[in-house]
Amino acid sequence: MLKKFLKKILGPIFLSCLCGLICGNLVYQIYDSNIEKEVKGKKIYLVQAGAYSSYDTMVDNTLVNNYVYYEDEDGLYKSIIGITENYDNIEKIKNSYGKDVIVSEYYSKDANLNNKIKEYDEKLASIEDKNEIQKTVLEMLTLYKDNDNSTLIKIES
């Protein structure tokens, strides 16, 4: 009688555990591969002078002459005054323009862009002159301007 009872109970429990293991493994594989595709790349920082509701507002309120801009998915125009992957360079960029900035973190999947940013970051790290910093930042912005921005993935805070 005990043997019959154990067969009735242990069979479904074993099958449930096996099904759970298979389903869990399948979900994990799907989730893991999607995350790797989405977040593979290098973290970069976009230093923004601001975010504006219209193009005209952006032009009127951005006091910096050298910037690039883009319109994000929310319809905001964001003026970018610097791009770097070295967090220490953000302070240099901020101090060279003498204004408050917004820093957004992104992942860049473009290997060529990442290599160029790294080169400019090394150059920027060794510069102390305000005008030279701005000149180097402008060269970095040209990279961003010429790049396909679909290779950047926003990191949500």
List the domain range (segments joined by +) for residue 133: 42-154
Is 19 domain-assigned?
A: no
Burial of 92 (0-12, 13-18, 19+ CB in 10 A): buried
Is 2 domain-assigned?
A: no
Is 11 domain-assigned?
A: no
* 68-71, strands of its sheet edge to edge: 68-71, 77-84, 42-52, 102-108, 152-154
Residue 115's CATH number: 3.30.70.1070
Cα–Cα distance between 5 and 3 in angstroms, integer? 5
Is 29 domain-assigned?
A: no
Q: What is the pLDDT of residues 51-83, one digit of tens each?
A: 888 888 877 776 666 667 777 777 888 878 888
Q: What is the pLDDT of residue 17?
A: 92
Q: What is the pLDDT of residue 111?
A: 80
Is 1 domain-assigned?
A: no
Q: What is the pLDDT of residue 21?
A: 93
Is the per-residue pLDDT at 36 higher than 80?
no
Is the per-residue pLDDT at 137 higher than 60?
yes
Is 131 domain-assigned?
A: yes
Q: What is the pLDDT of residues 77-107, one digit of tens each?
A: 887 888 888 888 888 888 887 777 888 888 8
Indicate whether this model's pTM tops 0.75. no
Is 141 domain-assigned?
A: yes
Q: Are strands 102-108 and 152-154 parallel, antiparallel or unpaired?
A: antiparallel
What is the count of structural domains for the chain? 1
Is 135 domain-assigned?
A: yes
